Structure 1
Amino acid sequence: MQRRLFALTIALAAFGAHTAVLAATVGQPAPDFSLTDVNGKTVRLSDFKGKHVVLEWNNPGCPFVRKHYQGNLQALQKEFTAKGVVWLAINSTEDASADYKTPPQLARWMAEQKAAPTAVLMDEEGTVGKAYNARVTPHMYIVNAQGRLAFAGAIDSIPSARVSDIDKATNFVRQGLNELLAGKPVSVAQNQAYGCSIKYKSAAG
Structure 2
Amino acid sequence: MTRRLLVSLIVLCSVLLAGPASAALGLGQTAPDMALSDVQGKPLRLSDYRGRHVVLEWNNPGCPFVRKHYRSGNMQALQAEARGQGVVWLTVNSTADGSADFLTPQQMARWLAEQKATPSTALMDESGELGRAMGARSALHMFILNPRGELIYAGAVDSIASAKAEDIQTATNYVRQGLKEALAGQPLSVATSRPYGCPITYR
For Structure 1 versus Structure 2, the TM-score category normalised by the shorter chain is 0.7 to 0.9
Inter-partner Cα distance in structure 2 for 1:83 and 1:70:
24
Identity of aligned residues (%): 60
Instruction: Find the counterpart in structure 1 of residue 71 from structure 2.
Output: 70
Structure 2 residue 109 is the aligned partner of structure 1 residue 107: yes
- Which whole-Å deviations, capped at 9, do the CAs of 1:82-110 have from their partners, x for residues lacking one? 11100000000001001001011000000
Among 121, 127, 130, the alignment partner of 2:129 is 127
1:1-205 alignment runs, 5 A limit: 10=23, 23-72=24-73, 73-201=75-203
Structure having greater relative contact order (Cα 8 Å, sep ≥ 6): 2
Q: Deviations over 1:113-153 (max 9, x none)?
A: 00000010000010000001101111000001121100000
Q: TM-score, normalised by structure 1?
A: 0.86
- Does the residue aligned with 1:25 lie in a helix, a strand or coil? coil
Question: 3-state SS of the aligned residue for 1:120?
Answer: strand
Counterpart of 1:167 in 2: which secondary structure? coil
Q: Report the Cα distance in structure 1 between the residues aligned to 2:33 and 2:83, rounded to whole angstroms.
A: 20
| Residue aligned with 1:168, SS | coil
Distance (whole Å) between structure 1 residues aligned to residue 158 and residue 72 of structure 2? 12
Provide the C-alpha distance between the structure 2 equivalents of 1:144 and 1:109, rounded to a whole number of angstroms.
Answer: 29
Amino acid corresponding to residue 185 of structure 2 in structure 1: G
Match of 2:5 in 1: none
Deviation at 1:43, TM superposition (A): 1.8
Which residues of structure 2 form unaligned runs of 5+?
A: 1-19
* Displacement after TM superposition at 1:31 (Å): 1.9
Determine the C-alpha separation between the residues in 2 that align with 1:126 and 1:140. 16
How far apart are residue 186 of structure 1 and its match?
1.0
Shift of 1:77: 0.3
Shift of 1:61: 0.4
For 2:34 and 2:118, the matched residues in 1 are separated by 21
User: Letter of the aligned partner of 1:99 in structure 2?
Assistant: D
1:28 is paired with a residue of what secondary structure? coil
> Number of aligned pairs?
183
Paired AA for residue 108 in structure 2:
L
CA distance in 2, matches of 1:77, 1:111: 14
Distance, in Å, in 2 between the alignment partners of 1:100 and 1:60 is 9
